[in-house]
Amino acid sequence: MIELLQTYATESSAAASASDGIFAGVSTGGSMVLMIVIAIVGYVVQARLQSVFTKYSKVLSPGGMTGAELAERMLHDHGIYNVKVTHVKGHLTDHFNPATMTVNLSDSVYSSRSVAAAAVACHECGHAVQHAVGYAPIKLRSQLVPIVNFSSQLATWVILIGIAIMAATSSAVVCWIGIGLVAMSAVFSIVTLPVEYNASDRALEWLQRSGTLQGSEIEGARVSLRWAARTYLVAALSAIATILYYISIINSRRD
């Protein structure tokens, strides 16, 4: 992406002309409204996720196994013995770490025997299975992590410097480089979507096939994971809206 933007910098006059046509309809006010709407949707989705998790945290799984025990069982059923199930503090801070080969389960999941805990624990194991089988999107996401960490630290500063340069010289090249850095976060969010949905599908398939959850319990797990996945969808939309917002700022400064 950076190399492409550097090439673009050498052709700034042509790119500037093209951007006028492509982004002419993007207004600062409109993009701000879009960001506010997405923020509200994100709040609603997060609140609904908390509500669903609380509901199914009160429903015990039929087998009475804890989230940690189910995680170990799912891993072993998939022939995975090099991943350790550990406990981390917090609420819904669960994650799989491919660097340390650990499935990290939060306070509300690790020792819980609920349907919600079973769903979350097995979802994280779904990521471990993805890693074990070489699932392409999770490999791509792992490769993007250092790039996104770097770009996210620089993006805002580059855009601010670019706006200052544009005010003095009318050149928007540095601004577009900054937007390119912001775009990396959007790419990461988009790549994350199939990773999360696929991990949930793997979790639900195993929970049902193994007989761990059935009937209303498996439906409760499905609902919990679907609302969790929607938080990633909102994050992706928010990242795209942020790009449009910065584009609108550049266009307004150039008018």
Instruction: Summarize pLDDT for 174-209 with one digit per residue, the tens.
Output: 999 999 999 999 999 999 999 999 999 999 999 999
- Which one from 69, 72, 124, 219 is the annotated catalytic residue? 124
Per-residue pLDDT of the chain (255 residues; tens, 9 = 90+): 333 333 333 333 333 333 334 444 456 677 788 888 999 999 999 999 999 999 999 999 998 999 999 999 999 999 999 999 999 999 999 999 999 999 999 999 999 999 999 999 999 999 999 999 999 999 999 999 999 999 999 998 998 899 899 888 888 899 999 999 999 999 999 999 999 999 999 999 999 999 999 999 999 999 999 999 999 999 999 999 989 888 888 887 665
Residue 171 lies in a domain: yes
Name residue, tokens 């009937």: 215
Residue 196 lies in a domain: yes
Beta strands 102-105 and 95-97 are: antiparallel
124 in active site: yes
Residue 218 lies in a domain: yes
Q: Number of folded domains in the chain? A: 1
User: Residue 27 is part of which domain span?
Assistant: 2-58+134-254
d(CA 155, CA 115): 41
pLDDT digits (tens, 9 = 90+) for 12-51: 333 333 333 444 445 667 778 888 899 999 999 999 999 9
pTM summary value: 0.82
Residue 80 lies in a domain: no
Residue 176 lies in a domain: yes
**Residue percentage of the chain with pLDDT more than 70:** 88
How far are the Cα atoms of 9, 86, 92, 199 from residue 205, in angstroms, in the given order?
49, 23, 22, 10
Amino acid sitting at position 105? L
